[in-house]
């Protein structure tokens, strides 16, 4: 749609677990300001395309990473509820799981997570840091199976009844 440029949750919502919504919205607001400053405000179509391009190279990689995480996590949750282990061929998910296990073990991993979580660098760029993937896979190789959530559900149902 031309003549209407969305920012914040009007553009896209993200999983609140990651606390990135405000950073996304403020980044988009700054991009919108710059696009209007430098773009052709008399041509809504050009302005829309310029804003979309600006988003594509800045906010979209963060949004896409969170969407991918959601897709895997929902699938994993469904698998756990069926009593199964979630299997996927996607190497990115295995890396994320390994990072989750390894993150308290090394300051480089914590700072990598903080940089992504603060929207300073997208994950794909952070992972190009020399030795980082090896570090994640070494320290996070002992990725635990998903915990037995069923036990807690049973306890909850017992408490309710
Ligand atoms: C439970 C929860 C926890 C979150 N935790 C975090 C966090 O820890 N860190 C973080 O960064 N982000 C977090 N977020 C996300 C963050 O709150 C949103 O990304 C952010 O508020 C989006 O800002 P916004 O201005 O785009 O939209 P909103 O904050 O939703 O603002 C939209 C405003 O428009 C108003 N409005 C709607 N329709 C109309 C209308 N027709 N006329 C006039 N006004 C209207 C609404 O009332 C609202 O005030 C969380 C979100 C939720 C739901």
The SS3 call for residue 120 is: coil
User: For the whole model, what pTM was predicted?
Assistant: 0.85
pLDDT in tens, 27-54: 999 999 999 999 888 899 999 999 999 9
Q: Percentage of residues in the chain with pLDDT exceeding 90?
A: 68
Dihedral pair phi/psi, residue 34, rounded to 5°: -65, -40
What pLDDT, on the 0 to 100 scale, is given for residue 147? 52
- Token representation of residue 126: 């952070």
What pLDDT, on the 0 to 100 scale, is given for residue 74? 95
Cα–Cα distance, 22 to 44 (Å, whole number): 26
Smallest CA-to-CA distance from 7 within 24, 20, 64 is with 24
Give me the residue label for tokens 């559900």: 153
pLDDT in tens, 120-159: 999 989 999 999 999 999 998 876 555 555 667 788 888 8
What pLDDT, on the 0 to 100 scale, is given for residue 1? 59
Distance 15 CA to ligand 1 centre (A): 13
What pLDDT, on the 0 to 100 scale, is given for residue 2? 72
Our answer on whether the CB atom of 128 is closer than 6 Å to any ligand 1 atom is no
**DSSP letter, residue 144:** P
Shortest-distance atom of ligand 1 to CA 20:
11
Distance 31 CA to ligand 1 centre (A): 19
Segments making up each domain of the chain, as ranges? 9-58, 91-160
The SS3 call for residue 112 is: helix
Our answer on whether the CB atom of 21 is closer than 6 Å to any ligand 1 atom is yes
pLDDT at 96 over 60: yes
């Amino acid at each position: 749609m031309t003549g209407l440029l969305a920012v914040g949750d009007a553009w896209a919502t993200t999983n609140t677990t990651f606390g990135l919504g405000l950073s996304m919205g403020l980044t988009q607001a700054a991009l919108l300001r710059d696009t209007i400053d430098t773009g052709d405000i008399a041509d809504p179509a050009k302005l829309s395309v310029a804003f979309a391009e600006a988003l594509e190279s800045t906010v979209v990689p963060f949004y896409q990473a969170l969407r991918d995480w959601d897709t895997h996590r929902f699938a994993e949750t469904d698998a756990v509820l069926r009593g199964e282990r979630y299997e996927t061929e996607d190497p990115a998910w295995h890396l994320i799981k390994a990072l989750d296990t390894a993150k308290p073990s090394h300051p480089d991993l914590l700072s990598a997570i903080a940089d992504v979580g603060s929207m300073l660098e997208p994950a794909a760029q952070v992972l190009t840091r020399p030795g980082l993937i090896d570090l994640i896979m070494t320290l996070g190789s002992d990725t635990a199976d998903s915990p037995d959530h069923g036990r807690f559900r049973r306890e909850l149902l017992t408490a309710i009844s």
